[in-house]
């Protein structure tokens, strides 16, 4: 190759050392046996307007580039994102410079200015020399620059992230806000109470205060320690507690506190009347401020089997549903004079989450109502028997023709009540219907005797029935204003 003055530059190509701007070759790297010292850099003049580059053989080792000197091309290398790229202005070609290899190479552009020039972005245009001209602008090497905007995957990812964030916020609200608004069901045994709990220095003191309030008939204080007070307090009143304490007072309360870090259990023992009771309750201090709540202290009882009977529990009127109750003693009664309760009419609640069994309570007619029932049946039976017609009530109607072919004459029928049937009417023992508790039902008291004028094969006379009809089963709604006998 020829330099500016036609001087040979073979050494510079062999060693891949670019000439300086004046055509004077720089000091080549030391050869074998030469001292390993760095060449003394020379201060070049100001750089030309355009970039300069001198090609070198493919695969040559890059040489040190001095400030202000054009950079030679190197062997094909991969361009990395963020690497500097040449400007797009036309470059100057040295006269007689042979064309470099056509393989893609990493081009070196304008003189290095590391502290002033900002690197071009990844994929910017690069320059590659050709035989006809010097280093010219060629298509970009590497992937083209991406257009602005988000890809579909990015949009889906952002949307999914947003939904996930909303879900987290909703869960936080559900776990933090909802318990404060609605309380926690008794069956759950945990959660934040609706009422905030009762103030106590410890869990043991909270349980002691709760049972003390029950023993004193103070329902408001007792409800303050319950984790989820019910909305219906029919049997959670001072009057009901007072009746409970009259039946069996609560006394000798002792507790053992097994809690730590705001939760745990408390064992309690007390006397319910003369009966010793032991139980264990879950307790919580959700806020850590001494507001303790007790789970499981409310039990329940059902009065559905006493519909319409005017039932009371410790003097409080109840309907046909289930009710929450405090630990204590409860007596069932009725306000309707025609009915009475018998059996285990006094029940107690002592177990956490307990359910009072009322199957041992039997509802029936009072003594006065029982006699009324028998009297009404007697009167109805006598009326039916008095009829002379084939058709009559009480289940005593007769067919016109008997099984043997005898024909009875209507209007000639004589019915009488035998002694054993009369005795049965006087000793009827009705029971109340399960489906309709006010309906008193009894079994048939028995049959009757019948005589009538009859004819058979042209012969007439008086016929006596060997097997007369029997009374039906009487039933009376004893809660009706004007009760009547219904025969089944």
| Per-residue model confidence (pLDDT) at position 390 | 95
Give the start-to-end residue ranges of the domains of the chain. Answer: 1-141, 152-182, 188-297, 301-365, 368-487
String of DSSP letters for 20-81: -TTSPPPPPPP-TTS-----------PPPSS-------TTPPPPPPPTTSPPPP-S--PPPT
| Mean pLDDT, rounded, for 403-428 | 95
What gap in Å lies between CA 423 and CA 71, rounded to an integer? 136
Domain spanning 188-297: CATH 3.40.50.2020: no
Residue 193 predicted with pLDDT over 70 = no
pLDDT averaged over the chain?
A: 73
Local structure of 253: helix, strand or coil = strand
Describe the crossing of helices 419-426 and 367-385 by its angle, rounded to 10 degrees. 150
List the Cα angle 165/167/173 in 5-degree steps: 105
Instruction: Please name which of 65, 72, 66 lies closest in space to residue 13, comparing C-alpha atoms.
Output: 72
Q: Mind listing the pLDDT tens digit for each residue in 34-85?
A: 444 444 444 444 444 444 333 444 444 444 444 444 444 444 444 444 444 4
Distance, in Å, from the CA atom of 174 to the CA atom of 191, rounded to the nearest integer, reads: 12
Q: What is the pLDDT of residue 441?
A: 97
Instruction: Identify which has the larger pLDDT, 251 or 90.
Output: 251
Question: Which pLDDT band, with edges at 50, 70 and 90, does 159 fall under?
Answer: low
Percent of the chain with pLDDT over 70: 59
Among 11-15, 19-23, 166-170, 374-378, which range has the highest average pLDDT? 374-378
CA of 288: how far to CAs of 131, 180, 258, 260, 284, in Å?
86, 15, 16, 11, 9
Least confident of 82-91, 232-241, 350-359, 440-449: 82-91
pLDDT of residue 231: 73
* pTM of the full structure: 0.57
Complete DSSP assignment for 338-402 = TEEEEES-EEEE-STT-EE--TTEEEEE-HHHHHHHHHHHHHHHHHHHT--SS--STT----SB-
Identify the pLDDT of residue 228.
Answer: 79
pLDDT, one tens digit per residue, over 259-302 is 998 899 999 999 999 999 999 999 999 888 888 999 999 999 99
Give yes or no for a contact between 333 and 312, defined as CB atoms under 8 angstroms apart. yes
User: Does the pLDDT of residue 239 top 70, yes or no?
Assistant: yes
Classified as helix, coil or strand, 421 is helix
pLDDT score recorded for residue 165:
59
DSSP states of 396-408 as a string? ----SB-TTS-EE
Q: What is the pLDDT of residue 341?
A: 95
| Res. 243: pLDDT tops 70 | yes
């Amino acid at each position: 190759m020829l330099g500016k003055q036609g001087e040979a530059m073979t050494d510079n190509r062999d060693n891949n050392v670019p000439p300086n701007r004046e055509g004077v070759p720089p000091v080549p790297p030391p050869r074998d046996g030469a001292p390993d010292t760095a060449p003394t850099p020379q201060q070049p003049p100001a750089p030309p307007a355009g970039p300069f580059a001198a090609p070198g053989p493919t695969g040559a080792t890059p040489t040190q580039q001095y400030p202000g000197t054009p950079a030679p091309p190197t062997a094909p290398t991969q361009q990395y994102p963020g690497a500097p790229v040449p400007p797009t202005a036309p470059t100057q070609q040295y006269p007689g410079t042979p064309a470099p290899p056509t393989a893609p190479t990493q081009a070196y552009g304008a003189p290095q200015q590391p502290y002033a020039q900002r690197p071009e972005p990844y994929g910017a245009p690069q320059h590659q020399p050709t035989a006809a001209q010097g280093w010219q602008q060629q298509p970009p090497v590497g992937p083209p620059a991406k257009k602005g905007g988000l890809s579909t995957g990015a949009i889906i990812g952002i949307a999914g992230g947003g939904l996930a964030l909303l879900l987290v916020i909703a869960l936080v609200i559900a776990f933090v806000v909802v318990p404060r608004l609605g309380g926690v069901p008794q069956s759950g045994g945990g959660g934040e109470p609706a009422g905030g709990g009762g103030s106590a220095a410890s869990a043991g003191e909270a349980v002691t205060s709760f049972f003390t309030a029950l023993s004193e008939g103070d329902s408001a204080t007792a409800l303050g320690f319950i984790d989820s007070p019910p909305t219906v307090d029919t049997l959670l009143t001072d009057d009901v507690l007072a009746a409970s304490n009259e039946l069996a007072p609560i006394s000798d309360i002792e507790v053992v506190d097994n809690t730590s870090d705001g939760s745990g259990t408390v064992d309690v023992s007390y006397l319910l009347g003369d009966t010793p009771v032991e139980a264990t309750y879950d307790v919580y201090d959700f806020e850590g401020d001494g507001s303790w709540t007790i789970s499981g202290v409310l039990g329940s009882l059902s009065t559905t089997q006493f519909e319409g009977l005017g039932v009371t529990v410790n003097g409080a009127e109840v309907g046909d549903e289930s009710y929450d109750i405090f630990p204590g003693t409860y007596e069932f009664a009725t306000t309707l004079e025609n009915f009475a309760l018998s059996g285990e009419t006094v029940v107690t609640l002592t177990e956490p989450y307990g359910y009072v069994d009322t199957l041992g309570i039997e509802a029936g007619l009072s003594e006065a109502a029982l006699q009324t029932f028998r009297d009404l049946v007697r009167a109805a039976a006598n009326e039916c028997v008095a009829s002379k017609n084939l058709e009559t009530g009480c289940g005593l109607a007769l067919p016109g023709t008997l099984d043997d072919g005898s024909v009875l004459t209507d209007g000639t029928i004589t019915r009488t009540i035998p002694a054993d049937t009369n005795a049965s009417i006087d000793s009827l023992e009705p029971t109340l219907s399960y489906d309709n508790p006010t309906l008193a039902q009894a079994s048939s008291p028995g049959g009757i005797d019948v005589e009538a004028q009859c004819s058979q094969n042209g012969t007439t006379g008086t016929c006596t029935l060997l097997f007369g009809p029997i009374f039906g089963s009487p039933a009376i709604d004893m809660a009706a204003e004007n009760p009547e006998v219904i025969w089944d």
